[in-house]
Amino acid sequence: MKNESRGLTWFSHIMMILFSAACIIPFILLITASLTDQNEIIASGYSFFPKTFSTAAYTYLLERGSDIARAYGITIFVTIVGTFIGVSIMVLLAYPLSRSVTPHRNLIMFIVFFTLLFHGGLVPSYLVYTQLFHIKNSIWALIVPGLLMNGFYVMLMRTFFQTTIPPALIESAQLDGAGEYRTLWTVVLPLSTPILATIGLFESIMYWNDWQLGMIYITDPKYFSIQNLLNRIMQDIQFININMSSNASNAMEQMPSDSVKMAMAVIGVLPILLAYPFFQKYFIKGIMIGAVKG
Amino acid sequence: MEQAATAAGLQTGLKVKKKKNQYRKYSPLLIMMVPGLLYLLFNNYLPMMGIAIAFKKVNFAKGFLKSEWIGFDNFEYLFKTSDAFIITRNTILYNVFFIALGTILALACAILLNEIKNKMLSKFYQSVITLPHLISMVIVSYLVFALMSAETGFMNKTVLPWFGIEEGISWYSEEKYWPVILTVVHFWKGVGYSSIVFFAALLGIDEEYYEAAKLDGASRLQQIRHITLPILSPVIIMLTLLSVGRIFYSDFGLFYQVPMNAGALFNTTATIDTYVFRGLMGSGDIGMSTAAGVYQSIVGFLLVMFANFMVRLYNKENALF
């Protein structure tokens, strides 16, 4: 019996190591490919153990770095502003819904919930945002449509407020003369950091990774996020030449294009890989919270 | 009589007054909700009404209010083409397969994870297997490209020569490989994540059940078979039914980015979502794509209602509503 259980533990370790390796290996290929000499890539393809090491791709990108820096700036701005506004309006909606005294609470709850069941679809939202709000080719196109708020997160927050903040605490604050806003700010929010951090984290990841909004609403490269830039480069490697170099035909010869592609992807993914050890705990906790019904 | 009437009148008067007072008293709470509700109005409810455009001849120059009504023509055109069949078939088949195999893989992974008693290693595995979930589909498409590219990919240049195949396969123009590639990518990205969902449920199981089973001489595998799985079955059934409710929706990024929107692969990679998107972005028919979007919204809604009904039948507490 003891042996069997130990065997199972070993088996589990082996399977998990294999699975973990499968999750990491593609990233290693990405990194080694970006550091391989262009001629070697042409001859023998991307490989895990390149014979000729070269940083040409990164020097190339560094020389033409202004577009990348700009795209980074856009992504960072969108992530911070989008997360901040999103979490704020979600808190402001979820908190009253958690209070039993709020008039029409059930109706409003249904209004929030119904958005999870029924969607108008892509084309109608596109028309609303372009024809009513004229959001095309502006920074708001990367922030507002779809991502700002999510009914499911509102429900998670509401449940958190309801289950962890004792109503007596709110009542006593209000007996002491605090208004609703003051109660929310000084009593409720300090007790709610776990849920705020979790939802804030998920929102930021969503904004950082979003490429769809840029593809739908942005045609001007000035507003490209890092994901859109990557997307564009994959579609058309020459885009770099046209936009980044004054002498396109000349640049095509010099450019280590196959490794540049991979180097761009490394630049796009590196911040997340580097930051991941610091927030993985909260990420996994967040998945677990989301798993339990909101 | 009269007295009673005035008393009743007084009471309703009081009620109205009380209600008014309540509005005044709690107006800060109501005002708080305004930004969020306005957002839902514009972002969610207005597009719901926009479904009407599926019954119009879409004309961007005129604006959608002035475009002319054409009834069910868009739907008629859509269902006359083979596209409607292809995208419906692909969306449903992929989803059915993803749900069935995905549940098994995630469950197996969660059970294995639960066998690992070393806290630090367990945490380590958890964070590594959820890493792919964190990466955007654009990056995933680069990873797939590094493996599958016809001229420089790892598959063609390194793996296939091991097996003596020197000429290579042009993966991005052969549709028959994509069901496999997309499935692998989907599981690579998602199994870790969904196994954590099951793992969370496993953590809730009381150790005493296992202790008791051990005393009775049950082996570890028997414990899994007779304790873990039965306890998890409500979670499994509920998650499955919920994904059945979303069977008409597909992971847009997976089906659009990973095959790089290649037209040659349409037959095995197009889903309702990519079809709608192509229509909107001008490489398809906007009228038909709008119709496809409405078709998706309505059938999707009915399926969610159906799934919820089934959950309710099975276990009222787990139902969404």
Categorize the per-residue pLDDT at A246 as very low, low, confident or very high, splitting at 50, 70 and 90. very low
Q: Which of B112, B147, B158 sits opposite A16 (nearest CB)?
A: B112
How close does chain B come to A145, measured CA to CA in Å?
7
Mean pLDDT by 10 residues, chain B (321 residues): 55 64 84 95 91 82 77 88 92 95 95 92 94 94 90 88 86 92 96 92 89 90 90 85 87 92 88 90 80 91 88 75 69
Which chain B residues are closer than 8 Å to A269 by Cβ? 135, 139
In chain A, where does DSSP find H-type helix?
2-34, 38-44, 56-63, 65-98, 105-117, 122-127, 151-164, 167-175, 180-183, 189-191, 193-209, 212-217, 226-235, 238-244, 248-254, 257-291
Q: Which two tokens stand for residue A135?
A: 């959001």
Beta bridge partners of A209: none
Instruction: Find where tokens 């969020």 sit.
Output: B36
Question: Between chains, do A103 and B26 touch, taking CB under 8 Å as contact?
Answer: yes
pLDDT > 60? residue A241: no
Q: What is the DSSP string of B23-43?
A: HHHTHHHHHHTHHHHHHHIII
Least CB–CB distance from B134: residue in A45, A123, A272: A272
Nearest CB among B44, B192, B196 relative to A23 is that of B192
Q: The complex's ipTM?
A: 0.89
CB contact under 8 A, B127 and A230: no
Mean pLDDT of all residues belonging to chain A: 87
pLDDT attached to residue A293: 45
Given CA atoms A13, A14, A15, A18 in this order, what sign does their dihedral have?
A: positive
Q: Identify the closest residue of chain A to B44 by CA–CA distance.
A: A115
CB atoms near residue A185 (< 10 Å)? 12
Instruction: Tell me the percentage of chain A whose pLDDT exceeds 70.
Output: 90
Residue B320: what pLDDT? 67
Which residues of A are less than 8 Å from B37 in CB distance?
Answer: 93, 108, 111
User: What pLDDT is attached to residue B316?
Assistant: 74
Express each pLDDT in A34-56 by its tens digit. 999 888 888 888 888 888 888 88
What are A103-137's pLDDT values in tens digits? 899 999 999 999 988 888 898 899 889 888 999 99
- Does A145 sit within 8 Å of B220, measured CB to CB? no
Q: In the predicted model, what is the mean pLDDT of residues A231-247?
A: 59
Q: Please report the pLDDT score of residue B164 as a whole number.
A: 85
Greater pLDDT, A224 or A257? A224
Token couple for B298: 């309505």
The amino acid occupying position A202 is F
- Report CB contact under 8 Å: B132, A231: no
Own/partner pairs, B177-184, CB within 8 angstroms, 24+ separation: B178/B259, B178/B265, B178/B268, B178/B269, B179/B94, B179/B268, B181/B144, B181/B148, B181/B258, B181/B259, B182/B94, B182/B254, B182/B255, B182/B258, B182/B259, B182/B269, B183/B94, B183/B97, B183/B98, B183/B101
Is the separation of the CB atoms in B243 and B99 below 8 Å? Answer: yes
Return the DSSP state at B123: H
Q: What is the mean pLDDT of residues A17-28?
A: 95
Span A273-292, mean pLDDT? 85
* A211 Cα to chain B: minimum distance (Å): 8
Report the pLDDT value the prediction gives residue B318, as an integer from 0 to 100.
Answer: 67
Residues of A with Cβ-Cβ distance to B147 under 8 angstroms = 26, 29, 46
- Min Cα distance B277 → chain A (Å) is 7
Inter-chain CB proximity A124 and B149 less than 8 Å: no
Task: Tell me which residue in B125, B157, B260 faces A234 most closely, judged by beta carbons.
Answer: B260
pLDDT band at A255 (very low <50, low <70, confident <90, very high): low
Interface A:B, Cβ pairs < 8 A = 287
For residue B304, which residues of chain A lie inside 8 Å, CB to CB? Answer: 117
Nearest CA in chain B to A13: B116
What letter represents residue B147's amino acid?
L
Would you call B120 exposed, middle or buried from its count of C-beta atoms within 10 A (0-12, 13-18, 19+)? exposed
Per-residue tokens: A193:
């950091």
Q: What is the pLDDT of residues B205-257, one digit of tens each?
A: 888 999 999 999 888 889 999 999 988 888 888 888 878 888 999 999 999 99
Q: Quick check: A44 and B157 CB within 8 A?
A: yes
Contacts of B115 in chain A (CB under 8 A): 8-9, 11-12
- The pLDDT of residue B234 is 82
* Tens-place pLDDT, residues A130-186: 888 999 999 999 999 989 999 999 999 999 999 999 999 999 999 998 889 999 999
> What is the pTM assigned to this prediction?
0.89
Distance from CA of B65 to the nearest CA of A (A): 10
Nearest-CA distance from B4 to chain A in Å?
30
**pLDDT value of position B204:** 85
